[in-house]
Structures are given as structure tokens and as C-alpha cells.
Chains A and B, each alone.
Chain A
């Protein structure tokens, strides 16, 4: 471990890592603050920059944009009553109320302090939990890996917005997209229809950029556009004094725990964490009556929880190589471009990268405080940028991002097609994240299944009888799948009672 830690420290001495942290955090805060952009678009438009970077600067850039954007969402929520990201929707309730009371600088101070604490708390959770989980994952063979991927896909499909059927369907489409191209075992071509560019399969980055970023632009042009309010004038951000924290530390700690735990669960996300934490704080806080009227406890609960999700979400990503949401799926796809194979052996084969990511995450959360204090007024100014310019730029970044990986126009066309599919999914309320996760995990799932069938000589019943870990994972998967059916059966009985 100490050897890996030493190597990790050496990795972060690269000045490019520090440059990536500073620019990524600042960019993330701005992107998060602009309503309609958010973490996923922030990361996708930064992807082209990672192509020319080394492994660690690329990871540092994406982590910085991720953390910065989640915090940045609170700025728009507090100043203009429009959460920059869905994760900050709960912050509006008390943040904007404080602005209306004439205290926008102080509301931003509470949000910043709570965000930094939540982020740092989740780093501790990540550092403590990820190595334990990764050590346990060493017991995993192909059967267990297959069972784990089944569980991850089911979990994400179950919890994603929309029905479970739609989530699973999106996951299945993603798995098929991952199967296009060469067979991972024999190398023979599949589903190419004689079209040569398809022999390398669909490019992951192009798919992700199209499904998330371009489809968001399509949705914005087709849907109603949010009317942002005027940005209130304020001189500076004022952090809360030590005295003001008195009686509020319990809310801060409890919300950080809630955020970290929810972050570990695949598919839940920061928005869920913020609302659960807000509701819990309102229920238990002695100042619960003031919630929604500018009570700092409300800001603390929402902001510490949503930022605590960042570290939690990285636990399954770094320990098991299983992405918990779309953002971590994009991060894993970047690792693949950088020559790192995600999976249960990620931490064993690349401990220096994983430990360096831990350290970088801590630095980002501290940098967030400094950058926010220095640039908050400039960020408030960025909120006035016209939507037309922002989304036209996003289209250009989508084109460059998809072209840059392999210098292929076919990838750009794939991106546009994925954008149209992504829009149709949004229109018909099909969640997009399971499709991306299916795409990321598809080849790994197929490989592990076929290896497992070779090991068991084609007898799939041995998956259950000779692999207890896989059995547990399959049982949990089956329970998750059966849950809506069981709930459906219970409801009529309750109604007749």
C-alpha cells in the first residue's frame, strides 16, 4: 500500500495535474452554475481535452469538473432561483429565500462551506471503503463478475427515472451496441453489415457525447426554456463564522453520511441524496419550522449531501470498475481511452492511479473553496451568458469531441445518430444512463459470461451451486427485479382491506 501511495504522490507532482485541477474546478463551477448544462455535459465537453493529456491529468480534469459542477449548481440556485444542476434543486428552497432576505453572499458562504465539508467527508469514506471492497473483489472469477454486472445493470435500471422496463430495455440496447464489431474471443466481425468502419464497433465517447450532450441541446431547443431571473448585486461571499456553526454540526455530519451512503448505491445520484437529506434535516432540526424561509440548515443539508455523493459514487467505480451513474460511466470510458481497463482488478493492477485519484479528490475539494472565494462574482456574471451561444458552443464541442478520438467522421455521424436516439429516449421517458452503462460493461459482461460457461463446461446451474458470492448477487438481482411485481401484488390487497 505504501509503495502505491508513494507512486501516487509522485504522479500528482506533475504540474499538468495541478493545472487540470485548477482549470477543471473553475470550469466545473461555471458549467454547474449555468442552468441546463450540469455534470454530464461538463464532462463530455471536456473529453476532447483529455485526448492529449497523460492518464493522471486526464483523470484530475474530469474529477475536478465533476466536483466543481455539483457545487456550481448551488450558485444559480441561490442567486437566480434556477438550480444549475438537478442536484441543487433542494438548495433553491432555502438558498433563494436567503437571497430574497438580502443575504446572497451569506447563502453562498453556507453552501460553499457545506459543499467542501461534504466532499471531504466522502473522500474519507472512499479511502476507507474502496480498498476493502477491492480486496474482497479479488475473490471474483468470471462467474462472480458476470453476476456483479447483472446486479449493477438491474440496480441502475430499477432506480433510474422512468419505469424499470424502460430502464432494462435501455440497458439491453446498450449491451447490444457494445457487441457490435469484433467478437472479444474469436475476433470475428458481428453486425457490421459489410460496412468497414463498424468493424471497430461504436466509439464509446461518440455515443456518450451524442446521448447526453447533443440530445440535451435537442431537448432544450424543443422544450420550454427556463427564464433565468436577474442576478442580484452582492459585494462578496461571506463564509459562516465558527459561532454560527453552533448547533448545526449534527445536520452537517448526518447529511454528509446520507450523501456518501447514497453515492455508493448505483443509480441513485446527488439529487436524491439532497432531497432525502433535506427532508431528514427538516424532520430533526430544532429550526425545522424555518425551512423554506431562508434557514441555513436547509442549505447545509442539501449541499453537504449532494457533494458527499461524489466520493461515494467513486467507490464502486474505482473498487469494482462498475460505474454507478452516467458521470462515472463517462469517467470509466476515459480510462479505457487512456489504456486502463476497468473491472474488478482496476485497483490491483493500477493502485497508483487509484490512490492518486483519492489524493486529487481531496485537493479538488480544498481548491473548490479557494476558487469559489476568488471567482464568485465572475461566475455570477457568467450566469448572464445567452443560452443560444452556450448551446451552439456545445454542438461544436460535441463534433470535436467525437472526431478527436480516432479522427473519424464516422464517429461524428455516430454521435449525431446517438443524439437523435437520446432525444427520442428523453421524449418517451426512457432513461439514458442504463444504455451507456450497458455499453461500457457490455464486452466485459460477454467475456465473463463466456469464460464462465467454459469453466463450467456450459452448465449454468453451477453458477449458483458452486459460486456462493455469485449466488448472493443473483438473489439480490432477482429480488430487485421482483420488487415491482411484489409491490403490485400487495397494492390491490391493501386497497381491498
Chain B
């Protein structure tokens, strides 16, 4: 796919999202007895109409001008995003500290930090330091695992 098409496609998807939200704003549950200008959906509808118009203008502009092609390592990015999403999904089940150790290990590895001694060490030291700082010094309760009281 060319950069022109990719960039226009992004703005068209944004426009479509705005359109769906605008359509949703006419849901009967939002009907109000107040005058149209003072109704609770008045402002969001104005904003969404603007959103759609600007997204379409953005798509047109992107199609005409295109976008500078940049070299992005999208495979590495996708792997890292998957790590972060899985990590966040695991926090409620495993607790912040236990979930953070494998996340640190994988993140460091994806970033190219692959020293066989330092990698496992840093994977433990970094999460424990952050957890200890916030639990004991700042005293912000972080999600705990079902097996331990604070960890």
C-alpha cells in the first residue's frame, strides 16, 4: 500500500469513527426536553460534525500530498505492543510485581539488552525497585496477587 493510500485510509477510518459516534448521539435515550442548543448532546454533535469534516479534509490532503516514507520497525513494535497489552491484562490476575518481572525481561530483550547475566538481574531489580518505591516510600497501593498480601 502506498503512503498516500495508507495515510488517507487512516483519516477515513477516523472520519468513520466520528460518523458512528455522531449517529450514536441521536440515540433516543439522549432525547432531552431542553431546547436544542441547550440539550446535552448539542456540544458533542457540533464537535463530532467538525471531527468528520476535518477527517475528510485530512484524507483529501493526505491523498494529494502523501506522507514522508519513514523506516519503522513495525514487527518489533507489534511485539512490544503485545507485551504491554498482555502485561496490563495480567496485572489484575498476578499483581503488579509478579506481572512486571516477565514484562521487564521481554521489554529489555526487545530493546536489544541481551546480556545473559544482566538481563535476568535487571528484569528482577527494575520491577522490585519501582514496586518498593511506590509501596513503601510513596505509599500508593499497587495491585497485589491473590497469593500474597502486598506482592
Interface residues in chain A, defined as those with a beta carbon under 8 Å from any beta carbon in chain B: 48-49, 51-52, 163, 165-166, 168-169, 172-173, 175-176, 179, 183, 185-186, 188, 190-191, 214, 217-218, 221-224, 386-389, 391-393, 395-397, 399-400, 403-404, 407, 409, 412-413, 416, 419-420, 423-424, 427-430, 445-446, 449-450, 453-454, 458, 460
Contacts and interface: CB of A to CB of B under 8 A. Distances in A.
Contacts of B130: 393, 396-397, 400
User: Interface majority SS on A: helix, strand, loop or mixed?
Assistant: helix
Given A222-B72, A453-B37, A176 B51 contact: yes
Contact of B61 (A51, A165, A454): A165
A166 B110 CA distance: 32
A458 B68 CA distance: 46
Q: Which 9 A-B pairs have the closest CB atoms?
A: A388-B111, A388-B113, A222-B77, A169-B54, A183-B40, A446-B43, A172-B51, A222-B72, A179-B44
B94 interface: no
Given A388-B112, A388-B113, A400-B140, A218 B107 contact: no
A85 B72 CA distance: 21
A51 B140 contact: yes
Contact of A169 (B51, B110, B126): B51
A409 B92 contact: yes
Contact of B40 (A190, A222, A428): A190
Given A169-B55, A172-B50, A191-B21, A427 B127 contact: no
A305 B104 CA distance: 39
Contact of B44 (A168, A190, A224, A423): A190
Nearest to A51: B140
Nearest to A217: B80
A83 B139 CA distance: 35
Nearest to A438: B47
User: Interface majority SS on B: helix, strand, loop or mixed?
Assistant: helix
Contacts of B14: 169, 173
Contacts of B47: 172, 175-176, 179
Contacts of A48: 134, 138, 140
Contact of B138 (A52, A163, A445): A52
B37 A392 contact: no
B140 A412 contact: no
A165 B96 CA distance: 41
A429 B130 CA distance: 33
Contacts of B74: 222
